[in-house]
Amino acid sequence: MPQPLPPLEQHPFLRGLSPEQVGSIACASREVSFPAGALLLREGQQADTLYLLRSGRVVLELNVPGRGPTLVETLKAGDILGLSWLFPPYRWHLDARAVEQVEAFALEASCMRGPSPEHPVLEPALAMRLLRQLYDRLERVRLQRLDVYKAGA
């Protein structure tokens, strides 16, 4: 019998916030499921959702013209997915595909962003958490970019 998945406020991205803060960040949220192979994000489509992954794995794919899709990073339970809703033009910059059955919370971006990047309504706590995620991801990308396993690298 599988363990029930933790509720929204227990997701690592939100854990520790007050009920008011969670209510404000997730003013419109829903539980979503994706079967293996399904696309959660498609490059070019409108970015209006922050996914909080609860179970399963998602792989980020970049389509390289002439080379086809390249898998660049795997995200899993506890991670967040989708940040392109933060800034115009609010479109996904890559594809995200479920590697296996994925359960997630889908948070509507309109709760978190203001009418424009110059007029944000981001909770400071949310802003810091997003910054932390971006910083960690930047570190990982830096290491990936070094291509340390290449002969002579």
Partner 1 sequence: MSLTAPHAAGTAGPMTPEPLRVRSLRRETSDTWTLSLDVSQRSGGFPFKPGQFNMLYVFGVGEVAISISGDPGRPGELIHTVRTVGATTQALRAVGRGGTLGVRGPYGRPWPMEEARGQDVVVVAGGLGLAPLRPAILHLMRHRAEYGRVSVLAGARTPEDLPFRRELARWQEDARLRVLVTVDKASPGWTEHVGVVPALLRDVEVDPARTVALTCGPEVMMRFAVRELERLGVPDSRIYLSMERNMKCAVAFCGHCQLVPFFVCKDGPVFSYEQLRPFINLREA
What is the per-residue binding string for partner 1 in 91-120, x denoting contact by CB under 8 A?
--------x---------------------
Position 70 contacts partner 1 (CB under 8 A): yes
Of 57, 125, 130, 133, the residue at the interface with partner 1 (CB under 8 A) is 57
Residue identified by tokens 């792989």 is 59
- What is the b/e burial string over 114-151, where b = at least 16 CB atoms within 10 angstroms of the residue's CB? eeeeeeeebbebbeebbeeeeeeeeeeeeeeeeeeeee
Question: By CB under 8 A, how many residues form the interface with partner 1?
Answer: 26
Our CB check for partner 1 shows the closer of 21 and 42 to be: 42
Site for partner 1 in 126-145 (CB under 8 A): 139-140, 143-144
